[in-house]
Amino acid sequence: MESGIPLLGEDFPTMEVVTTHGTLNLPSDMVGKWFVLFSHPADYTPVCTTEFVAFQKRFAEFKELNCELIGLSIDQVFSHIKWVEWIKDNLDVEIEFPIIADDMGRVAAKLGMVHPDKGTNTVRAVFIVDDKGKLRIMFYYPQELGRNMDEILRAVKGMQTSDAKGVAIPAGWPNNELVGDSVIVPPANNVATAKERTGASDCYDWWFCYKKI
């Protein structure tokens, strides 16, 4: 199967998928919403179980951002269903988001989720797609390292803030070492604005200014 990774800013590839919540057409069924599509190596594995619990614990926060969660692995839908039941019965956590059953590996191939040097299962890929179906962020983690869901949540918040306010988001926002919870304003693009900003209290220099939102 031919593999490939879509590029940031491109339309998310169209696909029909089978999930634990029925058939989904992506990205059309999500138009008007953001979504996070994330792959895990396999059901009934410890690190993946911790990740699913962590995603579910933040499910309401993603919902508040108009953002849906969608899981995926190269397992059959029956395996997903039983694993979700196991999580509910043994960990008292009910997984509310759908999980794609990519047992033929078509979605994984389309999105470059299988990396041969890391085995035949999907790596821990994350695709953040906006409400217009555009791919905005990608993360890739190896099987042996579980993801930080707070960072994924922060990434969605950051991109939505950037879009809404026309600003850039600093490292570690909203807890940046230099500007705290402020955001970065676009750099000056003319001499007059550069002179105006030089020496301002909310600028380190004319090209590095910030503001509260």
Active site residue 48: yes
For residue 38, how many other CB atoms are within 10 A of its CB? 28
Phi/psi for 51 (5° steps) reads -70, -45
The catalytic residue among 48, 67, 203, 209 is 48
Give how far the C-alpha of residue 196 lies from the chain's centroid of Cα atoms, to the nearest Å: 38
Distances (CA, A) of 210 to 51, 174, 181: 35, 13, 10
Instruction: State the number of CA atoms in the 13 A half-sphere of 86 facing the CB.
Output: 13
**Is 134:10 a contact under the CB 8 Å cutoff?**
yes
Active site residues: 48
